[in-house]
Chains A and B, each alone.
Chain A
Amino acid sequence: MPNIPFSQLLRQLPAGVATLEGPELRYGFINEAMRALVGEGAEGQRVVEHPGSLPLTLLEVLARVYATGEPYVAKACICAPAPGAAADQCRYFDLALEPYRDDDQAIAGLLLLALDVSEQEANRQQAHELALVTRRLDTRLRVLTETAPLITFTHDAQGRCTYVSPQWYRFTGQPPTADLTAIWPLLIHPGDRLRVLYEADAARRTGTGWNYEYRLRRFDGQYRWMLSRSLPEVHPPDAPMHWHGALTEVHDQRELADVLRRGEAELRFLADSIPELIWTATAEGFIDYYNRYTTDYSGLHKDDLGPTGWIGLLHSSEQAEAARRWVHSVANGEVYEGEYRMRRHDGAYRWHIIRARQLADGPVLRWFGACTEVHDQYLLRQVLQTQYDELARAHHDLDTFVYAASHDLRQPALNLRGLFDELRRTATFADPDQDQLLAMVDGALTQLDTTLHDLAVTVQTQRTQQEPTEVLDLGLVLEEVLLGLRPQAQARQAHLEVSVKAAPGLVYGRANLRSVLHNLVSNALKFSHPDRPPCIVLRSYLTPDDQPVFEVRENGLGMQLDNPKNPVFQLFVRQHAHIEGTGVGLYLVQRIVRSHGGHVEVASTLGEGSTFTIYWTKPV
């Protein structure tokens, strides 16, 4: 039995205890703790008159509790702050009212108990607030995971699906009542199912995450490629119990990658099927791809050839030059082109044209090259070149021969002429026909002389066809030519009209130009009509395309032409045999004009006249 009196214990109780006596509920006993609540000097007072910090609600039920005898408990009543404390520091008390009875079992008063639960209340409130915040965050997270275009899931250590976000149902079209663990594998494409189950199983066994792609059946029956990644929830040292992951659609990216891969394969296939050596090189000039034909042709594999080994395929005498050119191209980005012999797998060297150019493959520069075999064409070209050279030589020899012949024949012809003249002078002939005969011989000799002369001129002209061109004043040259032909013009009483103002200048060879003009005017004079004096119009003008043209219009005998646009003047073929001449003039003119790229056109009517049109240059 403790020695401390009971009343002392009560007084020191940490809970507030007070008695409210009698029907007027006057304070009787108030312990220390209760004093903090009701204040000092409350003994004997009626509780309603001295409530202290007791809440109104308690006061209201006092009478009822006293009358009915039913105890009253109020938890966490808010009470006014302690006197002297700050206004916002409310206190919370658990209050209890217990009626007590006297010996006759009549209610004698109420026992008031107050327990300070301020701290607990504060904690409770804080916890409540925290719970609210948590719930808010939780909602946000839920909204995020459930609306984001991603399926999130949780599987347990046995492979059962314990959670899946709503997006799963939306994607698969399955009802909310579906048994996830059972039905999910069935929605995986049969071709991927085994692999998926194996990989997931392996991950669970090793306690690691997984990362794989598979086709999942969509609500419309189409299989779409998905990427599934998950990680275990680890709480060491225990083995993981849950795997959390996400499933995202990668169908389009996968298709794109496939297309790219197929495209590249097709390009390779294309490059491999072309029967040419095709290769690509980096911007630095290292070859990184040889097509299949290259391997077949050379008999060497890509690794044997290496980044610069292709040089070894070239003929040894050409390697250094080809290498130098390649370095130059790589340094300057210039197109690479060359004709080289390349060694075939059987050791034979075949001529190839190697061409390469730099192209931008996006931001990256690459070289693209091809080697085309031209061996047969090359040999053919050699043959043709040889034949051409021989032909040119033969032609030249012929010309020289003709020139020499005509030259050498001139002297004898001159001698003949001299001797004949002498004979004519000194000899006397009895025959009256003699005169006619002499005249015929005279004519024949003249003809011989002229022919030889013109032959020499023709050959000479050929030689001068290569003469350099210069800017010539057409008017001046024409004046020179006309001056030379003045005797003939005067003899025929020719009327000449010259208008060269429209196109006065011409880039031509001087001797050639003079030759052309001389021949044309000379012809115009020679082939004049016997009934009328020659009227020759010489005109120089520019076509609408700015091409220089020279026109000779005369009223002479005219001629027969098959094709006025493309007349054929054959050497020594003459239309008017009765007029002296050799038939070389127009042939020469055409040759000269043609050799400068121009052409001759003639419009002519027999008996009326001709118009010769010289187009000096090639039409643009």
Chain B
Amino acid sequence: MKHIVYISRAVHPLSDEDLQQLLTQSRRDNTRHGITGVLFYSHGNIAQLFEGEEGIADILFERIAQDGRHSHVQKLIDKPITSRSFAEWSMAFHPLEAAGFTALHGFLLPHHVPPMPASLTIADALLVELVGLAVFGPDPSTPYHKLLTSPLDR
């Protein structure tokens, strides 16, 4: 089993409908393939951690990398793990109309994202926290405008 963390930039900002569709579709697909994890989205900044069987995870990442809805995909972690840290797959973002989303399965408001499970190494937990900081900004309860800066590999 392995987990992969990546960040990317949406080509066009995602609307509430796009986000809802992405959430439901991803949950469906990921549940089927045994992929768990969490996706952060805010103002065009995307970050995701997902874990699953090695082969499936690799295929999923390939597909993600080719997805035309985002660009500047940088993989930050690609490591084997001994056991899962996430029970399901969920998404955290600020919808414009919060009312339609509160009942949605797998949806989280960014400031409701629970602390990273203890099964993650501190290094990985630190990474996810930094990634969350980059996507949501210092105060996750309020929407935040800042594009992720230059790429990791120079």
- The CA of A253 and the CA of B150, in the complex, are separated in Å by 24
Q: Are A312 and B152 in contact (CB under 8 A)?
A: no
Q: Which residue in A308, A327, A330, A364 is a CB contact (below 8 Å) of B149?
A: A364
Q: Are A331 and B138 in contact (CB under 8 A)?
A: yes
CB-CB under 8 A for A285 and B149, given A311-B123, A312-B122: no
Which stretch of B21-29, B52-60, B125-133 is in the interface? B125-133
Instruction: Kindly state whether residue B18 has any CB partner on chain A within 8 Å.
Output: no
Interface residue count on the A side (C-beta < 8 Å):
23
Instruction: Kindly state whether residue A307 has any CB partner on chain B within 8 Å.
Output: yes
Interface residues on B, range: 20 to 34
CB-CB under 8 A for A332 and B152, given A309-B123, A312-B122: no
Provide the residues of chain A in CB contact with B121, threshold 8 Å: 312
Q: Are B126 and A364 in contact (CB under 8 A)?
A: no
Instruction: Kindly state whether residue A173 has any CB partner on chain B within 8 Å.
Output: no
Instruction: Kindly state whether residue A306 has any CB partner on chain B within 8 Å.
Output: yes
Taken residue by residue from 19 to 59, chain B's Cβ proximity to chain A (1 for < 8 Å, 0 otherwise) reads as 00000000000000000000000000000000000000000
Q: Which residue in A283, A308, A319, A365 is a CB contact (below 8 Å) of B127?
A: A308
Taken residue by residue from 47 to 89, chain B's Cβ proximity to chain A (1 for < 8 Å, 0 otherwise) reads as 0000000000000000000000000000011000000000000
CB-CB under 8 A for A308 and B124, given A331-B133, A332-B138: yes
Smallest Cβ-Cβ distance to B130: which chain A residue: A285
Provide the residues of chain A in CB contact with B153, threshold 8 Å: 288
- The CA of A474 and the CA of B150, in the complex, are separated in Å by 65
Instruction: Kindly state whether residue A258 has any CB partner on chain B within 8 Å.
Output: no
Instruction: Kindly state whether residue A286 has any CB partner on chain B within 8 Å.
Output: yes
Chain B CB within 10 Å, residue with most, of A283, A286, A327: A286
- The CA of A410 and the CA of B116, in the complex, are separated in Å by 69
Q: Are B152 and A286 in contact (CB under 8 A)?
A: yes
Provide the residues of chain A in CB contact with B131, threshold 8 Å: 284
Shortest beta-carbon distance, B40 to chain A, in Å? 13
Q: Are B134 and A312 in contact (CB under 8 A)?
A: no
Shortest beta-carbon distance, A31 to chain B, in Å? 80
Q: Are B138 and A308 in contact (CB under 8 A)?
A: no
Provide the residues of chain B in CB contact with A330, threshold 8 Å: 130, 133
Q: Are B149 and A286 in contact (CB under 8 A)?
A: no
Instruction: Kindly state whether residue B109 has any CB partner on chain A within 8 Å.
Output: no
Instruction: Kindly state whether residue B10 has any CB partner on chain A within 8 Å.
Output: no
Within 66-89 of A, Cβ neighbours of B (below 8 Å) are at: none
Provide the residues of chain A in CB contact with B12, threshold 8 Å: none
Provide the residues of chain B in CB contact with A308, threshold 8 Å: 123-124, 126-127, 130
Q: Are A323 and B150 in contact (CB under 8 A)?
A: no
Smallest Cβ-Cβ distance to A305: which chain B residue: B123
- The CA of A500 and the CA of B133, in the complex, are separated in Å by 62
Instruction: Kindly state whether residue A351 has any CB partner on chain B within 8 Å.
Output: no
Shortest beta-carbon distance, A204 to chain B, in Å? 37
Shortest beta-carbon distance, B108 to chain A, in Å? 19
Instruction: Kindly state whether residue B112 has any CB partner on chain A within 8 Å.
Output: no
Q: Are B150 and A282 in contact (CB under 8 A)?
A: yes
Taken residue by residue from 135 to 154, chain B's Cβ proximity to chain A (1 for < 8 Å, 0 otherwise) reads as 00010000000001110111
Instruction: Kindly state whether residue A320 has any CB partner on chain B within 8 Å.
Output: yes
Q: Are B138 and A307 in contact (CB under 8 A)?
A: no
Q: Are A306 and B133 in contact (CB under 8 A)?
A: no
Q: Are B122 and A307 in contact (CB under 8 A)?
A: no
Chain B CB within 10 Å, residue with most, of A284, A326, A364: A284
Q: Which residue in A282, A311, A331, A365 is a CB contact (below 8 Å) of B126?
A: A311
Provide the residues of chain A in CB contact with B126, threshold 8 Å: 308, 311, 323, 326-327
Q: Are A319 and B138 in contact (CB under 8 A)?
A: no
- The CA of A310 and the CA of B127, in the complex, are separated in Å by 11
Chain A-chain B contacts (Cβ-Cβ < 8 Å), number: 60
Chain A CB within 10 Å, residue with most, of B121, B122, B125, B131: B122
Provide the residues of chain A in CB contact with B154, threshold 8 Å: 288
Taken residue by residue from 103 to 125, chain B's Cβ proximity to chain A (1 for < 8 Å, 0 otherwise) reads as 00000000000000000011111
Provide the residues of chain B in CB contact with A311, threshold 8 Å: 122-123, 126
- The CA of A288 and the CA of B130, in the complex, are separated in Å by 14
Provide the residues of chain B in CB contact with A320, threshold 8 Å: 122
Q: Are B76 and A323 in contact (CB under 8 A)?
A: no
- The CA of A364 and the CA of B150, in the complex, are separated in Å by 8
Q: Which residue in B122, B134, B149, B152 is a CB contact (below 8 Å) of A319?
A: B122
CB-CB under 8 A for A284 and B122, given A307-B127, A330-B133, A332-B138: no
CB-CB under 8 A for A365 and B149, given A309-B123, A311-B122, A312-B121: yes
Shortest beta-carbon distance, A295 to chain B, in Å? 17
Q: Which residue in B76, B129, B150 is a CB contact (below 8 Å) of A327?
A: B129
Shortest beta-carbon distance, A148 to chain B, in Å? 36
Shortest beta-carbon distance, B128 to chain A, in Å? 9
Q: Are A323 and B133 in contact (CB under 8 A)?
A: no
- The CA of A472 and the CA of B154, in the complex, are separated in Å by 65
Q: Are A282 and B127 in contact (CB under 8 A)?
A: no
Provide the residues of chain A in CB contact with B149, threshold 8 Å: 282-284, 364-365
Smallest Cβ-Cβ distance to B131: which chain A residue: A284
Shortest beta-carbon distance, A330 to chain B, in Å? 6
Provide the residues of chain A in CB contact with B125, threshold 8 Å: 323
Smallest Cβ-Cβ distance to A285: which chain B residue: B130
Q: Which residue in A285, A310, A312, A364 is a CB contact (below 8 Å) of B133?
A: A285
Provide the residues of chain B in CB contact with A326, threshold 8 Å: 126, 130
Provide the residues of chain A in CB contact with B76, threshold 8 Å: 286, 306-307
Q: Are B122 and A327 in contact (CB under 8 A)?
A: no
Provide the residues of chain B in CB contact with A286, threshold 8 Å: 76, 127, 130, 152
Smallest Cβ-Cβ distance to A280: which chain B residue: B154
Provide the residues of chain B in CB contact with A309, threshold 8 Å: 123
Chain A CB within 10 Å, residue with most, of B121, B129, B131: B129
Shortest beta-carbon distance, A362 to chain B, in Å? 10
Shortest beta-carbon distance, B85 to chain A, in Å? 15
Taken residue by residue from 276 to 307, chain A's Cβ proximity to chain B (1 for < 8 Å, 0 otherwise) reads as 00000011111010000000000000000011
Smallest Cβ-Cβ distance to A264: which chain B residue: B154
- The CA of A561 and the CA of B44, in the complex, are separated in Å by 81
- The CA of A364 and the CA of B151, in the complex, are separated in Å by 11
Smallest Cβ-Cβ distance to A314: which chain B residue: B122
Smallest Cβ-Cβ distance to B79: which chain A residue: A306
Given contacts A283-B149, A306-B76, A365-B149, 8 further A-B contacts (CB under 8 A): A282-B150, A284-B131, A285-B134, A286-B127, A288-B152, A323-B126, A327-B130, A331-B138
A-B contact pairs, 18 of them (CB 8 A): A284-B130, A284-B133, A284-B134, A285-B134, A286-B76, A286-B127, A286-B130, A286-B152, A308-B126, A310-B123, A311-B123, A323-B125, A323-B129, A327-B126, A327-B130, A330-B130, A331-B138, A365-B149
Q: Nearest 9 A-B pairs (CB), nearest first?
A: A284-B134, A331-B138, A308-B127, A323-B126, A285-B130, A319-B122, A308-B126, A311-B123, A308-B123
Residue ranges of B at the interface with A (Cβ–Cβ < 8 Å)? 76-77, 121-127, 129-131, 133-134, 138, 148-150, 152-154
